[in-house]
Amino acid sequence: MATVSPEVSTTILIALGAYLAIVLIVGIVLERLVKTLSDYILGGRRLGPYVIGFSERASEMSGWVGLGLPGEGFSSGVNATWNTIGCFYADLICWTLIAKRLRRYTEVVGALTIPAYLEARFNDTKGVLRLTAAIIITIFLTAYVGAQFTASGKLFAAIMGGGAITTWIAVGALIMIIYTVLGGFFAVCWTDYIQGWWAFIGLLIIAAVGYSKYGGIGGLFSKMAEVDPKLVSLNNFWGWEYSGVLLLVIILSYLAIGFGWPGNVHIIVRFMGIKSVRDLKKAAITAMLLLLVVYYLAISVGWFAKVEFREAKNLIVADPEFSLQTLAINWLPPVLAGMVLAAPLALMMSTADSQLLVTASAIVEDIYHRFISREIEEKKLVLISRIVTFVLGIIALIWALFFGESVYLFVLFAWGGLGAAFGPIMLMSLWWRRLTATGAFACMVTGATGIIIWKSYVKKLIFPTVEAMNANWWVIAILLPIITFILVLIGGSILEGDLGKGLKAATVTAVVNAIVWIPWCYARLVADPKLAAWWYELLIAFPLAMLIAYVVSLVTTPLPEEFVNKTFEYMTKPTEGEVREATSEKPKTTAIVTLRELDIVKNFIKINSLA
Amino acid sequence: MPLLSLIKSLIAKMPGTGDALAFFIIQIIVQIIMLIIGIELAYGLLKEKE
């Protein structure tokens, strides 16, 4: 069944083709800028504030903004804005508490990736933290890339009338893989910039038509109240009225989506790539304003669609998530409709390319370069990075083409898993001096394992029926303490250099996990099982991982005081570059780059020799 | 409070919207204020710190 007219189909194809051609050209043009591994995975820290601001937003927004938020607006009315509230404060925390310190410190120690940052921050000479972090990133993000491919293929097949999902997936994915392989971080950020503008303008066009049609925000709300009073009810979620504890749980779960921000490495790595610390302010304002405008416009699109079409069955594919597409086809001339319809694809590609690059960086820089071949030439490293990026992209593509549904199972874990594994560490390592390497390791494994166990259980992967789930709740309750005990015993013993200390850390991890996790499982799965699915897993996994990091750090060997002082000095004191910029001294490119590289090496040696 | 009066007058003009319009407008205003405070504390919005 064709869902759009042939004229619109052709225009969509042209708009899509134009978009794909633009991003491909960007990749080809920027290829010449990639000379070193730093260029490939971090753009040589040379990107400006507006590109980084847009890139940070585009890397996060994905199909969620083009499809999910309009769908939420359609079903939940004004309460869909709880999404924006949770995401806004989470991103504000990242820009204000993480960005500056992370940017400064990673430049001084020469860390190009988040696992490398963790290794330097905790003076982990054995590389346990780095290897663990790289493995977690690789597992979660490769599946995530595959899911973006699958989602974009389904989206376009649905609009264009089906039958060509594999073609859509393959074409979009191959172009994205090519520009990422060629231009690395430069291409990813600049295409994010284009993709961000594309989505912003697309939503703005629809919003301009909608708000002028309904007489502004007040007129729209009056119309919403007239069409369906639930849309302006503060108790309505997805068309159902809630109150009391359940309403509070749903709102808290919405807000808890924000816990995923600090740990999703493909987003926070943007802070490390900006040209100057002084540019972070402009980048932060750009990103935050873009978030507010795009999120509210995307939710408004759902409201327009509800007022205009009333029922989901009247949308092009009878799904609230297709609100944007339905409005574009009905309200706009074919050329503009084609542009707007390409926007969700742009958002998906902008997320997938960032995830692909971060995964390739983890494999090449954090595993191959760190553990297998430390003395390799830069040129070879860049070549290997490109090959790995290409191979990973193809694996994700094959996965999406042949096992599309199973990819989604992994994605269910990815946002929460990365958020719980890395979020607490990122915040605590930049602000808490007493955090130890073993504390960070215990936090990482608790967060990732907790999310996987909880999600598998609630999604009935372990016990397929509700009765079996209720009867066997204790299995899920004891799994986390047992698994984390084993992992922390191994990792902690290596990090502490002593089996006894590792055993102590593992015992503390297991006990704290048991104290929190067993009552949680009982309360959620036995006392009130109906509520279990409403509790977003990050609501428990993030604070629990943070608590584990705190308690385990207190019982394990602290880092040498002089080392910690130096570490926090690097995070908080302006770098040479900042001082030079403040005094308006013009950069002398070659000489300064050389001096800076020397400084990085010296500082790194200094840090390691202190411990 | 002029801001509160403005919000109340907006709601009064739109019967049937309940508290929803106020909730929507207030959250945007609070977010803008929090953005200004956050950026000021972290980077110095109004003047260069370093």
| For A235, nearest residue in chain B (alpha carbons) | B20
Amino acid at site A330: N
Q: What are phi and psi of B28, to 5 degrees?
A: -65, -45
CB neighbour list of residue A605: distance below 8 Å, 6 or more residues apart: none
| Chain B residues with beta carbon closer than 8 angstroms to that of A289 | 35
Contact A77, A299 (CB under 8 A): no
SS3 A440: helix
Residue with the two structure tokens 């346990």: A128
Q: What are phi and psi of A236, to 5 degrees?
A: -90, 125
Residues of A with CB under 8 A from a CB of B: 77-78, 81, 84-85, 88-89, 92, 95-97, 99-100, 217-219, 221-222, 224-226, 229, 231-234, 280-281, 284-285, 288-289, 292, 296, 574, 578, 582
Structure tokens given for A512: 């704290």
ipTM of the complex: 0.86
C-alpha B50/C-alpha A218 separation (Å) is 44
Structure tokens given for A385: 């990075």
All structural domains of chain A with their residue ranges: 1-31+42-402, 404-560, 574-611
| For B36, nearest residue in chain A (alpha carbons) | A285
Burial of A376 (0-12, 13-18, 19+ CB in 10 A): middle
pTM: 0.89
Structure tokens given for A520: 């949680």
Of A60, A58, A17, the C-alpha closest to A190 is A58
Of A85, A97, A219, the CB nearest to B27: A85
Selected for mutation to probe chain B from A82, A88, A427 (highest B CB count within 10 Å) is: A88
| For A287, nearest residue in chain B (alpha carbons) | B35
C-alpha A18/C-alpha A12 separation (Å) is 10
Low-confidence ranges of chain A (pLDDT < 50): 1-2, 588-598, 600-602, 605, 609-611
To the nearest whole angstrom, how far is the Cα of A101 from the nearest Cα of chain B? 10
Cα angle: A465, vertex A466, A467; to 5 degrees: 90
Structure tokens given for A124: 């982990």
Contact A292 B16 (CB under 8 A): no
C-alpha A429/C-alpha A395 separation (Å) is 34
Contact A167, A411 (CB under 8 A): no
| pLDDT score for A102 | 97
Within 13 Å, how many C-alpha atoms sit on residue A336's CB side? Answer: 17
| pLDDT score for A566 | 94
Amino acid at site A380: K
| For B44, nearest residue in chain A (alpha carbons) | A281
| For A232, nearest residue in chain B (alpha carbons) | B20
Of B16, B19, B31, the CB nearest to A88: B31
Contact A72, A299 (CB under 8 A): yes
To the nearest whole angstrom, how far is the Cα of A376 from the nearest Cα of chain B? 39
DSSP conformational letter for A611: -
Selected for mutation to probe chain A from B31, B41, B45 (highest A CB count within 10 Å) is: B31
Contact A84 B27 (CB under 8 A): yes
Structure tokens given for A4: 């759009």
| Chain A residues with beta carbon closer than 8 angstroms to that of B39 | 95-96, 281, 284-285, 288
Of B21, B27, B42, the CB nearest to A218: B21
Q: How many CB atoms lie within 10 A of CB A32?
A: 10
C-alpha A202/C-alpha A205 separation (Å) is 5
Contact B18 A225 (CB under 8 A): yes
Concatenated DSSP letters for A259-326?
GGGGG-HHHHHHHHTBS-GGGHHHHHHHHHHHHHHHHHHHHHHHHHHHHHH-SGGGSTTS-GGGHHHH
DSSP conformational letter for A465: S
| pLDDT score for A539 | 87
Of A78, A38, A86, the C-alpha closest to A60 is A86
To the nearest whole angstrom, how far is the Cα of B4 from the nearest Cα of chain A? 16
Cβ contacts below 8 Å, chain A against chain B, sum to 89
| pLDDT score for A133 | 97
C-alpha A18/C-alpha A207 separation (Å) is 23
To the nearest whole angstrom, how far is the Cα of B41 from the nearest Cα of chain A? 8
Q: What H or E segment, with its residue span, contains residue A202?
A: helix A165-214
User: pLDDT band at B14, cuts 50/70/90?
Assistant: low
| For B24, nearest residue in chain A (alpha carbons) | A78
| pLDDT score for B45 | 65
Contact B34 A89 (CB under 8 A): yes
Q: What is the dihedral of CA A132, A133, A135, A136, to 10 degrees?
A: 110
All structural domains of chain B with their residue ranges: 2-43
C-alpha A239/C-alpha A179 separation (Å) is 42
Q: What are phi and psi of A318, to 5 degrees?
A: 50, 40
| For A284, nearest residue in chain B (alpha carbons) | B39
| pLDDT score for A471 | 81
Contact B21 A96 (CB under 8 A): no
CATH of domain A1-31+42-402: 1.20.1730.10
Of A100, A221, A229, the CB nearest to B14: A221
| Chain B residues with beta carbon closer than 8 angstroms to that of A224 | 17
C-alpha A171/C-alpha A345 separation (Å) is 12
Burial of A1 (0-12, 13-18, 19+ CB in 10 A): exposed
Residues of B with CB under 8 A from a CB of A: 10, 13-21, 23-25, 27-28, 31-32, 34-35, 38-39, 41-45, 48, 50
C-alpha A360/C-alpha A8 separation (Å) is 38
Contact B18 A89 (CB under 8 A): no
Of B50, B29, B3, the C-alpha closest to A580 is B50
| pLDDT score for A550 | 98
Integer distance in angstroms from the first to the last C-alpha of chain B? Answer: 36
Of B24, B25, B31, the CB nearest to A292: B31
Q: How many CB atoms lie within 10 A of CB A569?
A: 12
| Chain A residues with beta carbon closer than 8 angstroms to that of B49 | none
Contact A222 B15 (CB under 8 A): yes
Integer distance in angstroms from the first to the last C-alpha of chain A? Answer: 67
C-alpha A198/C-alpha A277 separation (Å) is 27
Cα angle: A122, vertex A124, A127; to 5 degrees: 135
Contact A292 B42 (CB under 8 A): no
Contact A254, A24 (CB under 8 A): no
| Chain A residues with beta carbon closer than 8 angstroms to that of B25 | 217
| For B41, nearest residue in chain A (alpha carbons) | A96
| pLDDT score for A36 | 92
Residue with the two structure tokens 């500056």: A100
| pLDDT score for A450 | 92
